[in-house]
Structure 1
Amino acid sequence: MKKLISYLLITLLSSLLLLSACVQEIPAPDPDVKDPVEENPGQDSDNVPEPEVEEPIDEGNLSPTPEEKYEAHQIVLYFSDNDLMGTYRVEKEIVVREGDQIEKAALEAWLKGPDHDELMGLINSKVIIEYIENFGGVAHVSFSKEITELNLGSSGELLFAEQLAMLMQQFGFEQTQILVEGRVGESLLGHLYTGEPIAANDPESYLWVDEKISREIVLQNVAFRIFEPSPGAEVKDRIVVRGLARVYEGTIMYEFEDGHFILAEGFTTASEGAPGWGEFEIIIELDEVSKYSGTVILYEESANDGSRRHELKIPVKVK
């Protein structure tokens, strides 16, 4: 009996020691950490909100994105009339993004063509301006290869080079070198030598588009375009011939004859020589003889042998 009692006491003591060791292993609560239920009385412990998780920072895009700035600039563009007889000035406002080339933006506006009905652009939309660089005060303008596919003829090619040089002149370049894909060539379309820079003219030698007078051509050939008189027109006291000429040094020779005799002859000078078209006016005073038919003959003298070239006959009736 005593042995049984001793065994029970030993077992009880062992159980108490084991329980004491388990209680010591439970960590005491941190006094600085507040229970969410105690911090928000009345809130159900099952509805405690989860802590917010911050989005990860994109280390590859740490720089701020500034707003793009644009500036307006007044520029002058140059376009041909619909008959490729001359070049006219047009004032235009363009908007350029800060940091972009104003010169390149101006040429791109030129490529788009004019808004005026009596003017035309020379370049199609496929042509790209690759770059513009300053080499010793000369503007180097490089076009994409599509520029060589234009069908302008000799007059159109001359006008193209002229307009390009005038566009760059307003930005301080008196000369402009044409390049195709970064290379200088001897010719652009086979009519004009482009191995050297093109010099700009005086801007004041070009009319503004508002100064352009709409005139109808009544008679023409490769050297002359006549506004008046119309073929067969009736005249009295004098004959006034007005038009455009594209002749060497602008010198125009003329005669007035009645089929038998030369009644008047002389020469005048157009406002511009070839290859440009210059304006001219000829006034032929008539004598008292009336009621006959006559012919005004315009021509150019060859610089080589003095022969007549590009004759244009205008028949008239004298009252």
Structure 2
Amino acid sequence: MNKWISIFLTFTLLLVVSACGQGAGTPNEKETNLGSDEEQYEDQEDVVEDSDQLEEEAIEEKEITDAPTPEESTKDETNETESLDTLNLYFADAELMSIYRVKRDVEYPKDEEGIQKALQLWVAGPVEEGLQGLVPENVIVQSVNIDNDIVFVSFSEELLNVNVGSSGELFITEQIAMVVEQFGYEQVFILINGSEIDTLSGHIDFNEPFTARSPKDFEPYNK
């Protein structure tokens, strides 16, 4: 009987010792697992930081790529054409003594197209009483071209049908030059059907460009 009791106690003692050994190893395993979790978390943080940095670099690169080049900026500025919202037309009085300026509330671009429209409006003549147009109303402004700050205006051949003396011919050239002057150009070369002419009605040389005077030289028409 005592023998079996001894065996039982010995077996129980072995179980207790074994259990204590397993319990002692558990904290090490927990520490190991905890260390692995911390390292994994740090790795994830590094990945997130790297991802954020790559995203920031990609955004910066896109901003640089999308930024307009100096050439594109200049092109955009060039495409933004200024406009003229008030136009002065110039007409002679009935006695061909003076040239007066009259205002038209129109909006034209300050380019070749705008000059062409303005001159065609001048060809149509005045609406004010006491003023007269000196060119036939069927004259067509065919084209306007700018070269070296000189405006080349081509009229249809009907312009040759003007019936004026030297004063009238001078008035025509001055009126054309003054219309063009508002678009930023001081000199205008008058053509017929795209070709140079020697004179319009035999009094003035048309082989050189005409230079505009100051608008202050012409009184506004208030009659």
TM-score category by the smaller chain? 0.5 to 0.7
Cross-structure match for 1:109:
121
Q: How many residues align?
A: 140
* Distance in 2, Cα, partners of 1:75 & 1:130: 20
Post-superposition offset of 1:150? 1.1
| Amino acid aligned to 1:137 | D
Contact 2:89–2:102 (8 Å) recurs in 1: yes
Q: How does 1:24-63 map to 2 (within 5 A)?
A: none
Return the match for 1:187 from 199, 208, 217.
199
Q: 1:170 to 1:72 in 2, by over 3 A?
A: closer
Contact 2:136–2:161 (8 Å) recurs in 1: no
Cross-structure match for 2:139:
127
- For structure 2, which runs of at least 5 residues remain unmatched after alignment? 1-82
Which structure: greater helix fraction?
A: 2
Return the match for 1:87 from 85, 92, 99.
99
Contact 2:153–2:188 (8 Å) recurs in 1: yes
Post-superposition offset of 1:94? 2.4
Cross-structure match for 1:153:
165
| Amino acid aligned to 1:125 | E
| Amino acid aligned to 1:179 | L
* Distance in 2, Cα, partners of 1:199 & 1:95: 24
Post-superposition offset of 1:100? 8.1
Cross-structure match for 1:200:
212
Contact 1:94–1:106 (8 Å) recurs in 2: no
Which structure: greater strand fraction?
A: 1
Q: 1:193 to 1:203 in 2, by over 3 A?
A: same
Cross-structure match for 1:174:
186
- The alignment yields a C-alpha RMSD, in angstroms, of 1.9
* Distance in 2, Cα, partners of 1:116 & 1:197: 30
Q: 1:102 to 1:122 in 2, by over 3 A?
A: same
* Distance in 2, Cα, partners of 1:125 & 1:89: 19
- For structure 1, which runs of at least 5 residues remain unmatched after alignment? 1-70, 213-319
* Distance in 2, Cα, partners of 1:90 & 1:186: 30
Q: 1:158 to 1:100 in 2, by over 3 A?
A: closer
* Distance in 2, Cα, partners of 1:121 & 1:141: 18
Identity %: 36
Q: TM-score if structure 1 supplies the norm length? A: 0.42
* Distance in 1, Cα, partners of 2:143 & 2:191: 10
* Distance in 2, Cα, partners of 1:164 & 1:100: 14
Q: How does 1:1-319 map to 2 (within 5 A)?
A: 73-94=85-106, 101-210=113-222
| Amino acid aligned to 1:120 | Q
Q: 1:161 to 1:72 in 2, by over 3 A?
A: closer
SS at match of 1:193: coil
| Amino acid aligned to 1:172 | G
Post-superposition offset of 1:91? 0.7
Post-superposition offset of 1:95? 5.1
User: Could you list the per-position Cα deviations for residues 221-268 of structure 1 after superposition, in whole angstroms to 9, with x for gaps in the alignment?
Assistant: xxxxxxxxxxxxxxxxxxxxxxxxxxxxxxxxxxxxxxxxxxxxxxxx
User: Could you list the per-position Cα deviations for residues 112-131 of structure 1 after superposition, in whole angstroms to 9, with x for gaps in the alignment?
Assistant: 11111011111112211000
